[in-house]
Amino acid sequence: MKEFDYIIVGGGCSGLSLAYELEIFDKLKGKTLGIIEPREDYKRDKTWSFWRVFSHNFDDCVKKSWNNFTINTPNETKYVKCSSTPYQTIDSGLFYEKILSRLKLNKNIHFLKNINEVDTKNSFCFNSVPRIENMQSELWQHFCGVEIETDKDFFDDEIFNLMDFACDQRNKVHFFYTLPFTKRNALIETTWISDLNDEKLKDYDNQIDDYLNKHLNIRNCKINYKETGAIPLFRQNNKKKINEIHIGTAGGMTRLSTGYTFLNIQEQSRYIRENIENIKNVNLYKIQSKYDFLDKILLKVLKNNSNEMGNIFFKVFDSNPKTAINFLSNRSNLFEDFEVILKMPKWKFLKEII
Ligand SMILES: Cc1cc2nc3c(=O)[nH]c(=O)nc-3n(C[C@H](O)[C@H](O)[C@H](O)COP(=O)(O)OP(=O)(O)OC[C@H]3O[C@@H](n4cnc5c(N)ncnc54)[C@H](O)[C@@H]3O)c2cc1C
């Protein structure tokens, strides 16, 4: 069995982000790293988007960036500007290619398929494999998106739609999300916040067809790419080990109210790189507990008032857009927190706290 100084279990977003961060900051000099990843090949499988509230290593993997967006309820549309923190979309295919081509230059980095191939006794392990079996009845953000190409100009590619609640709700939280990459090419995603037990909510193809035909009036289009996913909106119980840290989704990097994880992963990677020499003794990197507290209340409100989500997000963006974006990206100060909290339907939130 092989031995390494560091082992990364799972070569997905967080595993590769961390390996890249360590490599470009020379933290792997004189060290060996094993990356355990079962997948046979890497291809585009996710589209990661976020407001760019700080710089990251992957600007050259950005497929498109926007300075404006909308939120829709059946009765209203809100226009929001975000030019100081543009909304970026990263193509995971470009991300994997960039990182893997750099890591392959380092002869001390080895890719393996199974943890049984390595001896973990004397290594420090960064584990990104979530423990989410039998968690179907918890809350998830589950979705399916298609990237379509139309035969004539259709989209305004200067503005994306963050949430469109003018769709079938079925007593759950449901919205569509549209990222127009060009005038003829867009990712359109049907998104639910619910448990995963109700199979009836997963007729995603019908939902998308319906939205394209009846709502957007698109009759002729080609589907070039499809992605499905489910992001856990709950924290996982990881067994504590002295020589292991959980990273990525498994390491609590998901913002529970929104599912945003990508930029938190980049912050976690940066923190680990800054502390790698003393990693056994430093505190774990965490999303601030105030966000977990507020998000859990919000999720309870949504569970009992699923029709409120559109209204709540409308109200969040009644605040100054910068404040709302800072809040949703875990960068808000106390004043900004209050500005957002004061916009919420107070009685519904208080009822869930008491
Ligand atoms: C389709 C999709 C779209 C998303 N879009 C966004 C977005 O727009 N913005 C955002 O902020 N977040 C988004 N997320 C959430 C989050 O950013 C991603 O899930 C991100 O990939 C999480 O990174 P991770 O490293 O935790 O998990 P992953 O990227 O899934 O990596 C885990 C890796 O572990 C490997 N693995 C599994 N089992 C084992 C095992 N037993 N041993 C070793 N390896 C194993 C897997 O093959 C995988 O490569 C999205 C999630 C999905 C699923």
Q: What DSSP character marks residue 234?
A: S
Ligand 1 midpoint to CA 115 (Å):
18
Query: What percent of the chain is predicted at pLDDT more than 70?
Result: 100
**Atom 53 of ligand 1: nearest residue by CA position:** 229
**pLDDT over 80 at 71, yes or no:** yes
> What confidence score (pLDDT) does residue 310 get?
84
Q: What is the pLDDT of residues 188-206, one digit of tens each?
A: 999 999 999 999 999 999 9
Ligand 1 midpoint to CA 351 (Å):
34
- Residue 260: name the closest of 55, 51, 65, 13 by CA: 51
On average, the pLDDT of the chain sits at 94
Cα end-to-end distance, the chain, whole Å: 54
- Which residue ranges have their beta carbon within 6 Å of ligand 1? 9-15, 36-39, 46-50, 115, 128-129, 227, 229, 231, 248-250, 259-262, 265
Q: What is the pLDDT of residues 157-169, one digit of tens each?
A: 999 999 999 998 8
**Atom 15 of ligand 1: nearest residue by CA position:** 261
Q: What is the pLDDT of residues 277-301, one digit of tens each?
A: 999 999 999 999 999 999 999 998 8
Q: What is the pLDDT of residues 24-43, one digit of tens each?
A: 999 999 999 999 999 999 99
* Sequence letter at residue 75: N
Q: What is the pLDDT of residues 114-141, one digit of tens each?
A: 999 999 989 999 999 998 888 888 999 9
Ligand 1 midpoint to CA 328 (Å):
20
Token pair belonging to 301: 């409100």
Quick check: pTM over 0.85? yes
Domains detected in the chain: 2-62+91-131+236-278 (3.50.50.60), 140-232 (3.30.70), 289-353 (no CATH)
Query: What percent of the chain is predicted at pLDDT more than 90?
Result: 81
**Atom 36 of ligand 1: nearest residue by CA position:** 10
Average pLDDT over residues 6-15: 98
Q: What is the pLDDT of residues 47-67, one digit of tens each?
A: 999 999 999 999 999 999 999
Instruction: 58-62: list long-range contacts, CB under 8 Å, 24+ apart.
Output: 58/90, 58/95, 58/98, 58/266, 59/88, 60/94, 60/98, 61/90, 61/91, 61/94, 61/95, 61/98, 62/88, 62/89, 62/90, 62/91
Q: What is the pLDDT of residues 91-120, one digit of tens each?
A: 999 999 999 999 999 999 999 999 999 999
Token pair belonging to 347: 């009685």
> What confidence score (pLDDT) does residue 348 get?
78
Largest CA distance in the chain: 62
